[in-house]
Amino acid sequence: MTAARIGLPTALMHSYYRSFWKPFFEELGLEVIETGPTTKAILNKGIRYSVPEICAPMKIYTGHVLELLDQGVDWIYIPRFVSIRKGDVFCPKFLGLPDMLKHTIPDLTSKMVTHHLNVKHENIACMKEYLEIGKLFTSNYRKIKNAVQTGRKKWLEFRKYCVLERYNCQTANGKVFTGKPALQSDLPIKIGVIGYVYNVYDDILGMDIISRLYKLGANTVTFEMLEQGEIDRQLRGYKKRLFWAFSNKLLASAHQFFRDATIDGIIHVTAFGCGPDSFLGKILEINFSQSPKPFMTVRVDEHTGESHLQTRVEAFIDMIAKSKNFKE
């Protein structure tokens, strides 16, 4: 008997939680189908089915879901992210994601596997959240428990690579799934990149900004490299945190990057039309206006051209390189 096929859209939180979801569903006996990097065709499918004013990451996610339907998978896993820290919630688009997609893509309802992800810690791999999902595919409690444990082990491994080895999301996933070590060299410049994983690592939106910087002689650090304790420490001075879980992670990483004397400049990658980032961007602008550290915002959407990004990134790195040479 062939295994049922479950699709994981390679968008939104996929790169942050892939190391849990993939082994979890595989341990349950399913074949996991991932859509892979975003292509122009996937983007165009998403644009066709989305309202124009929604942010580009949501259009891209919609495109990946349509791609999985075209591939004829049996199920598509679309969680409703509610919270991963007491007091923090997800952006409203994440909260309404399954409903929005159900109403946008009528064929999806019978294939959608969904649930509320509402936990107190970013480690989502717990029986409380995944028992009901597991029960859709097996009545064997032990098998579900084993699947959660296997997934948890992999996700903790992923986080260990991020925090202890300073791998970003992409390279940490590479290490977990293929054993390939991250490309690391001693480059003269270090840049802090602030951005949601689905912007920075998406081939269309982020346009491989991390590799572009690397080719220009800059290593990068990202928020994934901070553990939750460090995030909370960095935000201690705020009377009130932002509402959104990952926006708080970005804000905390900005504080860390601005304080870190080894970091030469900071780039904020943000999607056009992002509500939470309009707050975050303003806070960064106000809080760090007195900092001598170069800071640049790169706003991306489905129309952003590669040459535009390349020119801006090159100019930013040139400026830093010149100022470093001048000081030495």
List interacting residues with ligand SF4 (CB under 6 A): 55, 57-58, 91, 93-94, 196, 271, 274-277
Q: Which is nearer to ligand SF4, 67 or 277 (CB)?
A: 277
Q: Phi/psi at 191 (nearest 5 deg)?
A: -120, 135
Q: Which is nearer to ligand SF4, 54 or 321 (CB)?
A: 54
Q: Which is nearer to ligand SF4, 23 or 276 (CB)?
A: 276
The angle subtended at Cα 245 by Cα 239 and Cα 251, nearest 5°, is 60
Q: What is the DSSP string of 232-255?
A: HHHTTT-SS--SBHHHHHHHHHHH
Residue 75: beta bridge partners? 6
Q: Which is nearer to ligand SF4, 176 or 252 (CB)?
A: 252
CB 33 within 8 A of CB 74: no
Taking alpha carbons only, the member of 279, 260, 87 closest to residue 268 is 279
CB of 80 to ligand SF4, least distance (A): 13
Which residues touch 266 (CB under 8 Å, ≥6 apart)? 191, 192, 193, 194, 254, 257, 258, 293, 294, 295, 296
CB of 90 to ligand SF4, least distance (A): 8
CB of 56 to ligand SF4, least distance (A): 7
Place of tokens 């040459």: 307
Place of tokens 């294939």: 111
Q: Which is nearer to ligand SF4, 93 or 111 (CB)?
A: 93
